[in-house]
Amino acid sequence: MEEEDRVKFLHTADWHIGKKLAGYDLLEDQKAVLKQIIEIAKNEEVDAIVIAGDIYDRSVPSEESVRLVNQTIAQINLTEKFPLLVISGNHDSKTRLATGAPWFSRSDYFLHTRLEEAFTPIVIKDTAFFLLPYFEPVDARIYFDDPDIRTIQQAMPRVLEKMKDHFLQNQRHVLVSHFFVAGSMKTDSETKLEVGGLDGINGQLLKDFDYVALGHLHGKNALNLPNARYSGSPIKYSLSEKNQEKGVWIVETAEETTFQFISVSPFRDVRELQAEFSQLLDPGFYRQQNREDYLSILLEDRQVIPNMMNQLRQIYPRILQVERINGREGNRRKSWKAQEIKRKSPIDLIHEFYRAINDESVTVHQQKWIEETMHDLMKKGGDLR
């Protein structure tokens, strides 16, 4: 096989366009990182871009999400003219995602959303790509007309066996798929998709492929088989991913397939920030910070801080959470017994709850409103004590 016949492709997955982080819209972040992915593909002069499922975060994505995906895919395939190999993931609606698919293959954009499409390989240079979309056991049951297929673990050997019947002589074989491989490491931002209580697919089943381009798990190191990788999501989609390097794999087929990870930089990072409250509010400190990041604040203080969240948000607009790493002064509430709570009046309980959450007491105005509301609620009887 001549060197110029070898295929070089970019492997990405789990874009989850439309996903929010603690309520914050990530479309700008997603747009910025997709732009970098296109730049990487151009710099590396790849022969194709592979997207291994979960383009969208929801089966019914927002209009803004549809617009971003449509623009990005058109740029990749029509403007930059990269061949594009795409499968649907468990987050995508296969029906909605498939809109336009029969027209796409004319410009070497192959979008597979149904199991039956997985067995016709797409050949680029020396490599045959099998695009296996996410599927449910029932899809395999119908496809193989076998009522005994009840789990993905039962279905997958049948699927892969049939794929091997379509292997081509003197070609490399790449599988593009979206599922959980046994032994992989998960984070908080993937949706559980194991079926039947079993723990994913045995990696041994994948051994006949030169490379398996996986989607579903969000860390690039979730799996370490010699011939298979998760690309991971190109963005940190949960705090548990704060230390993950995000990016794409550049894969080259050869006698031995090689793969190299190329990082992308977040538009706004997801990270922890540890400090005292006074420090966080000190311009000398916060001017050194990228205040636009998505922050988990690890607060060193123990005392009650009035109006804490509002003050912090003035400076740090995207706070994911605030954690008191040294505990809180006078914080004995956790040890309350049911008997103690029963002895308290509803109004006292409201006061203590408010203090616990907001780190300050109710105002005179709030106090008046609470008393009036409780009075109205209980005027047919009851005891405010």
* Residues in contact with a copy of itself by the rule CB under 8 A: 59-60, 63, 66-67, 70, 74, 78, 93, 95-96, 98-104, 106-107, 109, 380
Residue 230 to residue 214: CA distance in whole angstroms: 5
- Distances in whole angstroms, Cα of residue 385 to Cα of each of 98, 363, 371: 63, 20, 11
Q: How far is the CB of 113 from a copy of itself (least distance, A)?
A: 11
Q: How crowded is residue 377: how many other Cβ atoms within 10 Å of its Cβ?
A: 11
Q: How far is the CB of 103 from a copy of itself (least distance, A)?
A: 4
Nearer to a copy of itself, 113 or 154 (CB): 113
Q: How far is the CB of 257 from a copy of itself (least distance, A)?
A: 31
Nearer to a copy of itself, 56 or 316 (CB): 56
Q: How far is the CB of 101 from a copy of itself (least distance, A)?
A: 8
Nearer to a copy of itself, 342 or 380 (CB): 380
Half-sphere exposure of residue 359: CA atoms within 13 angstroms, side-chain side: 18
What does DSSP assign to residue 84?
E
Those residues with Cβ within 8 angstroms of residue 217's Cβ, 6 or more apart along the chain or in another chain: 14, 180, 184, 185, 186, 187, 190, 223, 230, 232
Helix (H) or strand (E) holding 385: none
Q: Could you give phi then psi for residue 107, rounded to 5 degrees?
A: -115, 30
Q: How far is the CB of 59 from a copy of itself (least distance, A)?
A: 8
Strand order in the sheet with 258-263: 109-112, 84-87, 48-52, 8-12, 247-252, 258-263
For residues 108 and 77, the answer to whether their CB atoms sit within 8 Å is: yes
Nearer to a copy of itself, 17 or 270 (CB): 17
Q: How far is the CB of 102 from a copy of itself (least distance, A)?
A: 5
Nearer to a copy of itself, 63 or 256 (CB): 63
Query: Can you name the residues that pair with 321 across neighbouring β-strands?
Result: 296
Nearer to a copy of itself, 107 or 366 (CB): 107
Residue 218 to residue 241: CA distance in whole angstroms: 8
Nearer to a copy of itself, 75 or 361 (CB): 75
Q: How far is the CB of 97 from a copy of itself (least distance, A)?
A: 9
Angle at which helices 346-358 and 364-377 pack, to 10 degrees? 140
Residue 203 to residue 56: CA distance in whole angstroms: 26
Nearer to a copy of itself, 102 or 226 (CB): 102
Q: How far is the CB of 190 from a copy of itself (least distance, A)?
A: 23
